[in-house]
């Protein structure tokens, strides 16, 4: 008989009760330091062994947000794997930079460190390895290459929630990492994303960009930098908190 895949997405009363609680609270958007979005950010960061997280509208925006927070833009080159969803490349294009696709290794479908080294040019600013299908890329080699050439390292961990290599969680290797909560990911609210980082200054810039250029906690209309709206809602955060509880 053909294999029957389990029903997806998975949910139970944890999601149902969380949604009802947000509905009845009247606080549907994701602002504030104590609401569902903020609680999800803290819990997700802790689960992936990093200090900070910023919830986003989707995983594509999480990559774009990392690039913008790092100051990557027109004329810069970003090395990515050729085997990946198009969002890894389009996020680079959306900040005006140039994606440079290189080959992957057959044994894990993740970016080949030797191919990265061969593709570096004077215009290269960053590398985005993708943890393909939950398999963690050869981060030790990639970290060494980036350090030797002064390159930023952003993990595309859209497939790798809770993934681990040598005791380190996906998202804890680079300066930043992007996760997706799209409908077919290991954690899902239909859509959504998360940017994680151990760099507090990077996260501060990312929060301002994601919130229309406003400083977190500033209720005035003081937009100090060019930003956009990459915010997650409390409805999505309530679902994702329940998803996180069963991730292991």
d(CA 224, CA 30): 21
Measure the CA–CA gap between 14 and 242, rounded to whole angstroms: 6
Q: Which of 52, 131, 152, 159 is catalytic?
A: 159
Q: Examine the residue annotation and report whether 185 is marked as an active-site residue of this protein.
A: yes
Token reading at 131: 């943890």
Q: Which one from 44, 52, 214, 230 is the annotated catalytic residue?
A: 214
Active site residue 221: yes
Catalytic residue among 152, 175, 182, 236: 182
Helices assigned H by DSSP within 132-233: 139-149, 200-210
**Active-site residue, 173 included:** no
- Dihedral of CA 173/174/179/184: which sign? negative
Structure-token pair, residue 142 = 């990639």
Q: Rounded distance, CA 69 to CA 187, Å? A: 25
Catalytic entry in 68, 231, 235, 243: 231
Q: Is 182 a catalytic residue?
A: yes
Catalytic residue of the set 156, 169, 181, 205: 156
Which of 185, 205, 207, 208 does the annotation list as catalytic?
185
Burial readout 124-163 (b: 16 or more C-beta within 10 A, e: otherwise): bbbbbbbbbeebbbbbebbbebbeeeebbbbbbbbbbbbb
Active site residue 85: yes
7 as an active site residue: the answer is no
Which residues belong to the active site? Answer: 85, 156, 159, 182, 185, 214, 221, 231
């Amino acid at each position: 008989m053909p294999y029957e895949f389990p029903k997806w997405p998975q949910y139970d009363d944890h999601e149902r009760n969380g949604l009802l609680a947000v509905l009845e609270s009247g606080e549907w958007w994701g602002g504030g330091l104590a609401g569902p979005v903020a609680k999800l950010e803290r819990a997700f960061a802790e689960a992936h062994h990093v200090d900070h997280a910023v919830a986003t509208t989707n995983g594509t925006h999480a990559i774009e947000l990392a690039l913008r927070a790092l100051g990557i833009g027109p004329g810069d080159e970003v090395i990515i794997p050729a085997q990946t969803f198009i969002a890894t490349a389009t996020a680079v294009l959306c900040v005006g930079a140039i994606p440079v696709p290189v080959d992957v290794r057959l044994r894990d479908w993740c970016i080949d460190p030797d191919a990265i080294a061969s593709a570096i040019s004077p215009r290269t600013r960053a590398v985005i390895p993708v943890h393909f299908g939950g398999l963690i890329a050869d981060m030790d080699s990639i970290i060494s290459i980036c350090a030797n050439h002064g390159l930023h390292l952003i993990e595309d961990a859209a497939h790798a929630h809770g993934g681990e290599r040598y005791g380190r969680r996906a998202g804890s290797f680079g300066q930043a990492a992007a996760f997706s909560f799209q409908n077919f990911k290991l954690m899902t609210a239909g859509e959504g994303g998360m940017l994680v980082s151990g760099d507090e200054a990077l996260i501060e810039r990312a929060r301002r960009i994601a919130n229309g250029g406003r400083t977190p906690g500033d209720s005035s209309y003081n937009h100090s930098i060019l930003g956009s709206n990459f915010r997650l809602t409390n409805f999505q955060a309530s679902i994702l908190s329940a998803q996180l509880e069963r991730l292991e």
